[in-house]
Amino acid sequence: MGPTPGLRRTSRILVVASDGAALLFFTAAPDSSRFARWITPGGGVDPGETHAQAAVRELFEETGLEVDNVGASIHSFDFDVRWDEADHDRGHAVYYVLRVAERFEPSNANWTPDEHVDVTAHRWATADDLESGTEPFEPAHLPDLIRLAARSV
């Protein structure tokens, strides 16, 4: 069974340390493949939320960091969803940047039950780290986004 027609709006946050490394989570796709890849913190926009409000909420839920706002978005793109158990067939992601002075250990205290299953690791990685490694990441242009985020703040 394939995804049902519909659009899922998401907000993603590029949390970038002063050394240019971004915080990433290793997560399994929410389908029968369980394909694992590195992604930025973030998630779905709830009804009534703006992308920026969702980014602030998701940042807290996934890392424990509390901020009042995440500023202007730096990138957005549309994509097709290919998960066999998805409740949507299209996505729209909006990316924000949060600069931190140094790398930190994210808190999982506010994760959903699914996140405790799907997220298996975290790390700080530069664009070069991703490009020189063999592990998958999403989106395909994530190294370019990390470079843009490192320059934009």
Neighbours of 140 (CB within 10 A): 9
Measured CA to CA, the distance from residue 148 to residue 126 in angstroms comes to: 12
**Catalytic residue among 61, 102, 131, 135, which?**
61
* Six-digit token string for 38: 């590195």
Backbone angles phi, psi at 136, to 5 degrees: -70, 155
Asked, as a colleague might, if the bond just before 41 is cis with ω within 30 of 0, I would say no
Q: Does the annotation mark 138 as catalytic?
A: no
Closest CA to 70 of 98, 95, 51: 98
Cα distances (Å, whole numbers) of residue 144 to 19, 26, 150: 16, 19, 10
Catalytically annotated residues? 61
